[in-house]
Structure 1
Amino acid sequence: MLAQAAGKIKALSPQLKGAFTKPFVATAEILRFPRDMAAERALEAPAPGRFTAYFTRSRREILKIQRLRYRIFSQEYGASFSAPFGLDRDRFDRHCLHLVVRDNRNGEIVGYTRVLPGERLHRTGGFYSSGEFDLTMLSQLEGKLAEIGRTCIHPEHRNGAVISVLWARLAQYMLENDV
């Protein structure tokens, strides 16, 4: 599904591609399709979006992420795993890219996913999913691979906006890195 979205983004006009700048800020104007771009140009200074998606290396933010993951996966969905200090962490976290969505109104992290780029597999011994599924056929695929996992959205923000911003930034990452 993300590959299809990335393909569609590649085919869009240069103006829309230019909308994907770092950090990624979602606004209604940025996420419009090309036929609506004239309306965007008519706006002199669009208001910043409510949510910002970006990759983080901050230890403090990663701890907040791991706490959010624990609350959602363990407490909300009943997953059973060892989680000292109420943190969902595993050996893959230090090798992954951590994509967060921040609510610009209050500064809270409200969405998350992690990305394990294929070129880091020599450090991890494989994808996380290889412990759950037979992924041997992935070696037959051409091009770069990345694993997306641990995606979660704060319960108060499950209305589509946060996941849309998260997936849009993830699609941008895929395009930038030819994944």
Structure 2
Amino acid sequence: MAIVRANPTGPAALVRRFRSHHSAERPGAAAKLIASFRGAAAPESTPSRAQLEASAARLPKPLGRIGALELRLAERPKDVKRAQRLRYEVFYKEMAAVADPLAKLARRDMDAYDAVCDHLLVLDHGPKPAHPVAGKLLAGLQGLDLKGFEAKAPFAIGAAAPKPKKPRVVGTYRLLRQEQADRAFGFYTAGEFDIAPLVARHPGLSFLELGRSCVLKPFRDKRTVELLWHGVWSYVVAHDVDVMIGCASLEGVDPERMALPLSYLHHFHRAPAEWAAAALPGRRTDMNLMPKEAIDLKAALKALPPLIKGYLRLGAFVGDGAVIDRQFGTTDVLIVLPRAVINPRYVAYYGADASRHAA
């Protein structure tokens, strides 16, 4: 099935510059600025409630749990906005991404693809810790004669008590099925890699794009990553997906500084002809920066981001050439993961029916 590419002068181009946002959500200057782009046919930045509910209905609710963490698909536009706020916090506040005016005003990472995607969410139901200053103050009062104070105080002297809280989104993944991509702007990945020939070589297979993966820093551990992978696998099983694709990033925009990991990917994990796809000619950066025999395998693996190592363990291939994304401050590689080549031990671990972490 051919990929429908976005018109470079249409909504997707505008989105790449300004990130769509609803003027009704932010009053004052924000609304005025956002309204100024309406004449340019700015696209929606969240799916409709009906669209989200219909997609979520195809999978269990919740999708899974580990301890206080819960996994589910977004069911409301506000769920997608919460994922966008998490992405903004990770990509723009923690990392080196450069926010455009609308993203800064909304404090959300968003684009037109959000409106045609499904969104995996990991929610933390754990207790909210008390303010650290309050905890220290209360601890410092121990041992003092505070006769009569206890009756007036709504808390006990000592360690600050946890506070109930609304669960927050601490991890997310964006999922774009081929049928949705073909009806909209095509795959986001097509803006960096020439994946049309790859898709055309497999007309009977169903493709799924994985993107915008991120986890809040305190939650970057095995449990959160396992839940996200469980969610992806559940989605793949539910929608009978055959091939997963997407851009995976190495932090930084100087390929020479990433010569070791890029060369390792080029020499040891490059896709065979059947699954090959190359970076777009105008954006391509060579990955073959070191001879194969000069590569220290242990050091190369250590230099790779955890997400890319995770893909490789599953059996993924890497495309030909990398792309520098200056907006996000990254160097991107193409990941191609056919379902048929996934390491059997991971299928067994998560369950052929995705039952590993089912709630």
TM-score, normalization by structure 2: 0.37
Does residue 24 (structure 1) correspond to residue 63 (structure 2)? The answer is: yes
Q: For residues 140-160 of structure 1, what are the alpha-carbon distances to aligned partners after superposition, in whole Å with 9 as ceiling and x for unaligned?
A: 124211101000101110112
Question: Over residues 89-137 of structure 1, what are the superposed CA-to-partner deviations in whole Å (9 max), with x where a residue is unaligned?
Answer: 0000010001101112241111100101110123322100111111121
Task: Give the partner amino acid of 1:139.
Answer: A
Choose which of 143, 148, 171 in structure 2 pairs with 1:111: 171
Aligned alpha-carbon RMSD (Å): 1.7
The answer to whether the 8 Å contact 2:113/2:185 transfers is no
Deviation at 1:81, TM superposition (A): 3.7
Asked if 1:133 corresponds to 2:154, the answer is no
**Contact (CA 8 Å) 1:112, 1:153: kept in 2 or not?**
yes
3-state SS of paired residue (2:61) = coil
Q: Within the alignment, does 1:154 sit opposite 2:216 as a pair? A: yes
Identity of aligned residues (%): 31
The whole-number CA distance in structure 2 between the counterparts of 1:73 and 1:139 is 33
Richer in helix (by share): 1
Structure with bigger RCO (C-alpha 8 Å, 6+ apart): 1
Change (3 A) 1:21 1:92: closer
Distance 1:165 1:117 in 2: 20
Which residue of 95, 102, 119 corresponds with 2:116?
A: 95
| Partners of 1:112 and 1:166 within 8 A in 2 | yes
For 2:173, give the aligned amino acid.
Answer: T
Between the aligned partners of 1:178 and 1:152, the Cα distance in structure 2 is 24
**Residue equivalent to 1:145:** 207
Which residue in 2 is equivalent to 1:9?
Answer: none
Question: Secondary structure of the residue that 2:200 maps to in structure 1?
Answer: helix
Give the distance between the partners of 2:179 and 2:210, measured in 1 at CA: 14
Aligned partner of 2:199: which letter?
L
For 2:192 and 2:226, how far apart are their aligned partners in 1? 27
Amino acid at match of 2:124: D
Q: Report how many aligned residue pairs link the two structures.
A: 139
Distance 1:123 1:87 in 2: 25
Amino acid at match of 1:85: A
Q: How far 1:69 moved relative to its partner?
A: 0.4
Find the partner of 2:90 among 72, 75, 81. Answer: 72
Point out where structure 1 has 5 or more consecutive residues left out of the alignment: 1-19, 28-48
Structure 1: how far apart are the matches of 2:109 and 2:115? 13
In 2, are the aligned partners of 1:95 and 1:123 still within 8 Å (CA)? no
SS at match of 2:234: helix
Paired residue secondary structure (1:92):
helix
How far does residue 21 in structure 1 lie from its aligned partner after superposition?
4.6
Larger radius of gyration: 2
- In structure 2, how many angstroms separate the alpha carbons of the residues matched to 1:25 and 1:122? 30
Q: Distance in 1 between matches of 2:175 and 2:118?
A: 5
Distance 1:148 1:126 in 2: 13
| Equivalence for 1:172 | 234
Task: Tell me, in whole angstroms, the C-alpha distance in 1 between the residues paired with 2:64 and 2:114.
Answer: 25
